[in-house]
Chain A
Amino acid sequence: FTKRKLDAAALEELEDALIAADLGAPAAARVTERLARDRFDREVTDEEVRAALADVVSETLMPLQCDLDVTGMSPQVVVFVGVNGSGKTTTLGKIAVKLKREGRNPLLAAGDTFRAAAIEQVSVWGERAGAPVIKREIGADAAGLAFDALETAERDGHDVVLIDTAGRLQNKAELMDELRKVIRVIKKKMPEAPHHVVLVLDGTVGSNAVSQAEAFLEAANVTGVVMTKLDGTAKGGALVQVAEKFRLPIHYIGIGEGEEDLQPFSARDFSRALAGLED
């Protein structure tokens, strides 16, 4: 390894790398400053610097690494929310497959009654998981469908209900109201539900992730986050911006389109990947 001084030029390179990973300029500056404070003027290898960088990022994320716990009183209700195309339905499907394998008895609700073939998409995931799917025709009321799903779960003894919702941009008041209504109707039927409201963030997203988290928190009381599409070239640093600001638990990352492509979130692995370290 070639050692070099962690001088101003080297630090600027680091800061740039963090910005290029979507950490945002302020957070990138903070992390770099921390690093400078601790190890300025020492000879270090590139590997050492990256490891130290990963440690600083990991400090923020470690307390947020958290399982999606659906072991409580049956049925556990999980609602998936987020902007269009972020990976809600796929994540729901992967979790259904996983739960089924663990011997659970999930019920799926095709709560996106808006987008073309959204219902068919959930149905395919239901088949893959071997789990039934509650559906209505396209254009039906999403809140009513959620209500149906809870009734069915109680009647048929399902221990987890996974509710899909239509993608919506957080600045669309009408669509956010519709989501509020879904949550309200769920609560009316089952006051302790939903047990989880999972915000699904696209791994390629930039700073808009912060505005997404803020709006979905306000409208739907988000309880945790999943970040998808980390199998591409995006590093997903926007997750760090969201974590710093809202301290939301992070459950999983998506690393592909298949059933198996869901990993429990590891603060260490995520931070190391962000810092450009292999594993």
Chain B
Amino acid sequence: MFDALTERLGGVFDKLTGRGVLSEKDVDAALREIRVALLEADVALPVVKDVVAKIRERAVGEDVIRAVAPGQQVVKIVHDALVDLLGGEGEQPGLMVEGEPPVAILMAGLQGSGKTTTSAKLAKRLQDVHKKKVLLASLDTRRPAAMEQLQQLAGQVGVGFLPIMANQRAVDIAKRAMNAGKLQGYDVVILDTAGRTSIDEDMMAEAKSIADVTRPRETLLVADALTGQDAVETAKRFHERLPLTGLVLTRMDGDGRGGAALSMRHVTGLPIKFLGVSEKPDGLDAFDAKRLAGRILGR
């Protein structure tokens, strides 16, 4: 279990066999290994520091000091701390789509993070599982063929698609989408937006205006699970500007350890609502804190 961390800690505790009691110095050595293990899993440094501090608090207790197998015990403490930080065990909050229809869901994030694909996945899920009538609308006036991409995906999953009109600004498309949603009896309107960097002032202002005029029930930050240290900066900046309600981490089907999910969750406090696990429209998993904690620790 948790091979990467167990191996690292093995070295620390091997030297202890025969002594049986953990000193504060031993705990320090273990914490150094935990720090490296978390960094290797791409957890962002400020988050690593918080996590290690939290683990120190728990580990310096007498339990560990008297433990028979201190390595195992420390691994368990780390694992449990991560599960806590990821939102704890059990059901995560689902999508909030109740309320007076049409309910808006706004998708936001960096370029290429998976917003358009995830929009289609959510539409499919809302239609198939929640029996909602869903309209997909592309507000991406920038990326070549972005609107056609969402249009084709809408066709694939069999949900509504707001017709493309040339030369309309994103905010105006958003208004048109909400209007069409109302007139045509849609329950949910999913607004896919263009990718943007968090320091592109004009684009961030645009996103804010879209949120202002559509009052989304959910504003989801879609991020790549393979993201490195930038996870903290991006999550913070999007969270400052938009009324974010949750996170979606895509490309969890890769071989990354997924530290970005922990980083983003930790700096925003937002629930991770879904994980993207394939390119296909059904490749969307519910989030499971225990599974992700295990993965970060290198299971």
Binding site for B on A (CB under 8 A): 16, 19-22, 24-25, 83-87, 93, 114-118, 120-121, 123-125, 167, 169-172, 202, 204-208, 211, 229, 231-235, 237-238, 257
Q: Is B183 an interface residue when CB atoms closer than 8 A count as contact?
A: no
Bound: A22/B232 CA distance, A: 12
> Which of B140-148, B205-213, B240-248, B288-296 contacts the other chain?
B140-148
Q: Is B197 an interface residue when CB atoms closer than 8 A count as contact?
A: yes
B228's partner among A16, A121, A123, A234 (CB-CB below 8 A) is A234
B256's partner among A93, A204, A208 (CB-CB below 8 A) is A208
Cβ contact within 8 Å between A204 and B259: no
Contacts of A204 in B (CB 8 A): 110, 224, 227-228, 230, 234
Select from chain B the residue with minimum beta-carbon distance to A138: B152
A206's partner among B42, B145, B197, B255 (CB-CB below 8 A) is B42
Select from chain A the residue with minimum beta-carbon distance to B49: A16
Bound: A186/B39 CA distance, A: 40
Binding site for A on B (CB under 8 A): 36, 39-40, 42, 44-46, 110-114, 142-146, 148-153, 156, 197-199, 224, 226-230, 233-234, 237, 251, 253-256, 259-260, 279
Cβ contact within 8 Å between B254 and A22: no
Q: Known A125-B144, A257-B143; judge A20-B45 contact (CB<8 A).
A: yes
Cβ contact within 8 Å between A87 and B255: no
Contacts of A25 in B (CB 8 A): 36, 39-40
Contacts of A208 in B (CB 8 A): 42, 226, 228, 254-256
B230's partner among A85, A167, A234 (CB-CB below 8 A) is A234
Cβ contact within 8 Å between A20 and B229: yes
Cβ contact within 8 Å between A169 and B255: yes
Contacts of A115 in B (CB 8 A): 149, 279
Cβ contact within 8 Å between A116 and B149: yes
Q: Known A85-B224, A121-B145, A233-B237; judge A22-B251 contact (CB<8 A).
A: no
Interface core residue of A86, A114, A206, A233 (most chain B CB under 10 Å): A206
Bound: A122/B132 CA distance, A: 34
Cβ contact within 8 Å between B224 and A232: no
Query: Considering the complex of A and B, which 10 residue pairs feature the smallest CB-CB distances, nearest first?
Result: A206-B228, A85-B112, A124-B144, A232-B197, A117-B149, A120-B145, A206-B42, A234-B230, A116-B152, A117-B148
Given A206-B226, A229-B111, 10 further pairs, Cβ under 8 A: A20-B44, A24-B39, A84-B279, A85-B112, A115-B279, A116-B149, A205-B227, A206-B228, A233-B197, A238-B228
Q: Known A206-B229, A232-B230; judge A257-B142 contact (CB<8 A).
A: yes
Cβ contact within 8 Å between A205 and B148: no
Cβ contact within 8 Å between A211 and B224: no
Contacts of A16 in B (CB 8 A): 45
